[in-house]
Structures are given as C-alpha cells and as structure tokens.
C-alpha cells in the first residue's frame, strides 16, 4: 500500500436483530468499517426520539398539583413532568 492511501475497510456483518447490531457497535471501532471522510450530513426532520413507558407512583396530592399546573400552562401533565425532568437532568 502506498503512503497516504486509504486502507480497505472491513465488511459490516449482517445482523439478525437490532440488539445484535447494537452489541456489535458497542464493542467495535467504527473507523475499521466506515470511511468517515466520505460521510455526508443528513437531516432527519421527522425523527422522533425513542420512548419507553414507565410506571411512576406519586402521592395523589402531588399529582393533582401537577395537573393543575399543567392545565394552567395548557399542556398535558405528562409533558410537563417530562419537561421538568429534562430541565433537572441538564443542570450541572
């Protein structure tokens, strides 16, 4: 191989599930498989973040106060809880 020439990349294996692919990329260096110098920016305007349903037990009085505050802000109370949690997690 001549100096400065790009190395041939390894072939990305075929995956049978998303979990298998996730495990692979968590344990392998992508630069061995992808020529990032040829990557192009991509916009995904309709992409929604993945969510997971959880069960959260709250005292009834607290939930009622949250619902009142959400109603005052004209938003669903679950959205208000998510916004508050997001704000708190981002704080240093």
* C-alpha–C-alpha distance, residues 20 and 17, integer Å: 5
**Residue whose entry in the numeric block shows the structure tokens 């968590």:** 26
In the chain, where are the structural domains located? 9-38, 55-92
pTM: 0.50
* Average pLDDT of the segment spanning 67-78: 97
Query: Which pLDDT band, with edges at 50, 70 and 90, does 9 fall under?
Result: confident
The pLDDT of residue 65 is 98
* C-alpha–C-alpha distance, residues 73 and 28, integer Å: 46
Q: Which of 13, 9, 14 is nearest to 38 (CA)?
A: 9
Residue 82 scores a pLDDT above 50 = yes
């Amino acid at each position: 191989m001549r100096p400065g020439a790009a190395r041939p990349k390894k072939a990305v294996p075929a995956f049978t599930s998303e979990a298998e692919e996730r495990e692979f990329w968590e344990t392998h260096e992508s630069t061995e498989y992808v020529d990032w110098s040829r990557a192009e920016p991509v916009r995904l305007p309709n992409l929604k973040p993945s969510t997971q349903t959880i069960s959260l037990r709250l005292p009834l009085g607290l939930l009622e106060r949250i619902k009142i505050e959400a109603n005052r802000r004209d938003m669903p109370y679950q959205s208000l809880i998510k916004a508050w949690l997001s704000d708190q997690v981002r704080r240093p």
